[in-house]
Structure 1
């Protein structure tokens, strides 16, 4: 059964009561529920129920666009509109009544349990043991991912391993974080042992995806040996490789790139990705919902490998994009770049000037409208080669956001090698592969010659490579902060980089300059008032999300996270 049928399946099964509604995980099955006489008779029935479990499996709150929003929680991203309470995360104003509701992941878990509880009803003659195990492995992978995701964002969580028969059955207390993580890993390990090595169709979960889940969550939880082992297993599959054209995999034409391990599937019209409009700036009819910050730009080295604040780097704050790591323009779209916008009309990307050379108002000026990028920049991923690859409405597209890719696995291996202090040279070899792929120079081994310095390098390279893909917040709340001597300060990185004023650049674009990287002319004397985007706060309570009050009211056994 093709994944393009997922939407109709979800609607069909939900309407018949087999699945929960979108409003309340704890809804009970209505009287017209599917019965064993009408369902669970063939392998096609199982396939339908398993397929339905894929609906929004990556994030049951906002779907596949979660990866784009989550960097806006961090120092490298920004969201202006506060859609789905996302801006509250970045500015530190989350509360039990104004926070992302990732607790809705239990809707996905329920769909998985529906399959697990009923699959044995299918006659053995209708399905082979191999088919059965693969179906089970897919839903146990999704259930394991979901519990792991909940433990990562909330800490303690409810372990839901059955379909509640009554409302009271669903009112369970939170289990300790460690127990939830153990339960999640048990599901993922079982899945890895029983799932097919390659997916039956694009978008299905197979061994590489499950091992990537195991690697990712173990890394996030500080289980470096386990994360390294899982990463090595992904590598040993010999199914994936770095795409020599970095931006290719983020385009519609590159969705079969060998770097991609798993995407969230969308099919135009049938099961469309409806949020391309959030990528683009105001002049191109977009909403600029998630955009990079100057903090992101400042992480990139100069072309010679020196940091911008390093002696002899040649950094010019008046022309901050000039002579930089070539990967910068593959990550961030900044003023001065040549740009092909709406209707394939070329122009110079300009968010700095309030008025354009022809005298017209600049719709992309950073305060021209709510839909203009307030940082003055856009993420480059998924926007190239041009806007014409998407539907005119930008809300009916077959874009399949990447959930797991090979570069993440390599970076996981590099970080584990550093934290385990096993092989710093191999960690830098991995980093070199990513740098050189993007057109940059190899790492200066004489400069990065201690564990502390290589750790700093690997963390920065992880941020640069995966920028705009939703990793940064989870990284900075887990990473310990180190001082210049290599000693821990007792804080997490988030406590250092999140609080304070978030600034943009002000200036003008020189249309007579032939070099796109020198066209932006920054006013280094611009006032703080002109540059200020927002004031951000951060408290240790934000290491975990609050459970929304509506969820607390529905289940009196839940206890709120500390500080909320």
Structure 2
């Protein structure tokens, strides 16, 4: 076995098939090019970097972009099988297949980037055209992969060049050393990148600064190397460099469907995307198919009640503080992002099962009854039909049974394309992350000024939410609460909460017990519904956010006062602080014992 194959085996490198024009190139061994002088031309460098981009096509579930799955490893969402996610029954262990795949795929990106960067090194003086830009893109993608690795695993091996046989039993590198290397590396390539990429899907200077800010915010929050304040300063400065260079889209909903993503303002907000296409060799995903009603999809992933209850009322007050909140009608008078992100009981949903007029679906969600209203597009009438979420062999997976009464509307509200073959892009970084990262870093530094409030207001105002309230101005703790709340409701299902839960150390709060949901109905002896749950709700059925000061700060709802009246799942849910880091995959430890295991595994 040659050195490259050994190193790939050490890292668990999984070569993911590419739909790009450079497929044959990706099927070869990249480091063999670096040793044979392959990267001497702009075209060769571009091919190599295309291979790095292709490595981001990581599916942690069937045909599902990786970022969609990440939030389902937190208390804000869950898969349909009970007690399978992190903190819910102990499935997180060194043999967990998803954990191993995340390690493998992330190091695959690092490996491909290193192969191109080192292979091109001898020829930097002669490379022309956009070669330096492409090499800068490789550095940004390598930093992105390492950001994901450090978030999930903590200390990992730092590879600055292709791995050789001498690296067989490498030790892991401290997080601050990795972050410092990446921050300096990103600084060195910033000027080789345009502010906005010519081709959608490629990284640019805004993304490079965004990755810097994301890395530094992580390092500041976890105080890597005892340098927390210095990292917060870098996070704020990096984010500030992007502020004003991009802009928010006019409509939040446009960001997550095919038609909306064609708009120029959406393109401007979407800094970094995984690109899909319905042209040529099609590249599709099926996000919507795995999270909609059983009446037209195969529900597998569900939002949690504690996420739903995080959304403020439209007056800017939390639901336990707002006079506008009605527990009988929890959907009323809420932050518009509630309705843009989630579907629930009695909502009208639309979709498409095959991408044609005959595949159009329009129906009323019902969490209680075996029949529901379904729209007939041929006759333009509403008719009663079987409700597969309640009355079908697969109903156990539905939002009413495996879920707690909510479905993801984000990425599912697709009326034209088939939800089983979607080509809307999967967004990895948006401009609001820049704004809220800037605000959070400044808040943690206790540098509260107008720029902080303005950054948060921009995000809130786009969704017609009021400005930062007067009682928060100058109050670090209240501003900390607000910026965390904004990150949750703005970025739900986009993968950022996976990191945020770890940065804020709130895994125990989100996963401290069973998952509760919609109010239960009363039933006859034969199981039929006598009175629907929302009709039985009393005014006192408002969640308690003040169980502890930490619950209050992080907007974590508690339902103990009326939990017997609610749908429940994950009865054996528990949290162990070791879950803040994934275990090092056992197969990697078998190959390289010097890696060592994270504490507790």
1:18 corresponds in structure 2 to 30
Q: Does the aligned pair in 1 maintain the 2:299–2:398 contact within 8 Å?
A: yes
Q: Does the aligned pair in 2 maintain the 1:327–1:439 contact within 8 Å?
A: no
Structure 2 residue runs without a partner (length 5+): 1-16, 221-230, 353-358, 374-382, 522-531, 539-561
Distance 1:366 1:246 in 2: 34
User: What are the Cα deviations for residues 107-136 of structure 1, in whole angstroms up to 9, with x where unaligned?
Assistant: 1111111111211465965x32x6332122
Distance 1:455 1:252 in 2: 34
Normalization by structure 2: what TM-score?
0.78
1:301 corresponds in structure 2 to 312
1:252 corresponds in structure 2 to 258
SS of corresponding position for 1:505: strand
Whether 1:285 and 2:293 are equivalent positions in the alignment is no
Q: Aligned-pair distance for 1:271? A: 5.3
Q: Aligned-pair distance for 1:426? A: 3.6
2:190 corresponds in structure 1 to 192
1:150 corresponds in structure 2 to 149
Structure 1 residue runs without a partner (length 5+): 20-28, 480-491, 509-518
Counterpart selection for 2:405 from 373, 376, 381: 376
Q: Does the aligned pair in 2 maintain the 1:302–1:315 contact within 8 Å?
A: yes
2:489 corresponds in structure 1 to 464
Whether 1:340 and 2:324 are equivalent positions in the alignment is no
Normalization by structure 1: what TM-score?
0.83
SS of corresponding position for 2:182: helix
1:485 corresponds in structure 2 to none
1:533 corresponds in structure 2 to 569
Q: Does the aligned pair in 2 maintain the 1:338–1:349 contact within 8 Å?
A: yes
Distance 1:430 1:123 in 2: 40
User: What are the Cα deviations for residues 401-459 of structure 1, in whole angstroms up to 9, with x where unaligned?
Assistant: 11111111111111122111112544333322222211223333136652111211111
Distance 1:51 1:341 in 2: 33
How many residues get paired?
514
Instruction: Choose 251-260 or 421-430, whichever is displaced more.
Output: 421-430
Distance 1:290 1:280 in 2: 5
What are the equivalent positions in structure 2 for 1:44-443 lying under 5 Å apart?
Answer: 44-57=43-56, 65-81=65-81, 87-88=85-86, 92-98=90-96, 99-101=98-100, 102-104=102-104, 105-120=106-121, 127-128=127-128, 131-166=130-165, 168-222=166-220, 223-236=231-244, 238=245, 240-255=246-261, 256=264, 257=266, 258-268=268-278, 270=281, 272-310=283-321, 313-342=323-352, 343-356=359-372, 360-365=385-390, 369-373=395-399, 374-384=403-413, 386-388=414-416, 390-391=417-418, 394-443=419-468
Aligned alpha-carbon RMSD (Å): 3.1
Distance 1:123 1:96 in 2: 42
Q: Does the aligned pair in 2 maintain the 1:76–1:295 contact within 8 Å?
A: yes
SS of corresponding position for 2:471: coil
Distance 2:331 2:183 in 1: 44
Q: Aligned-pair distance for 1:361? A: 4.0
Distance 1:497 1:235 in 2: 32
Distance 1:432 1:200 in 2: 30
Distance 2:370 2:185 in 1: 55
Q: Aligned-pair distance for 1:14? A: 3.8
Instruction: Choose 130-139 or 462-471, whichever is displaced more.
Output: 130-139
Q: Structure 1 residues 369, 457: closer, same or farther in 2, change over 3 A?
A: same
Distance 1:366 1:505 in 2: 18
Distance 2:577 2:90 in 1: 10
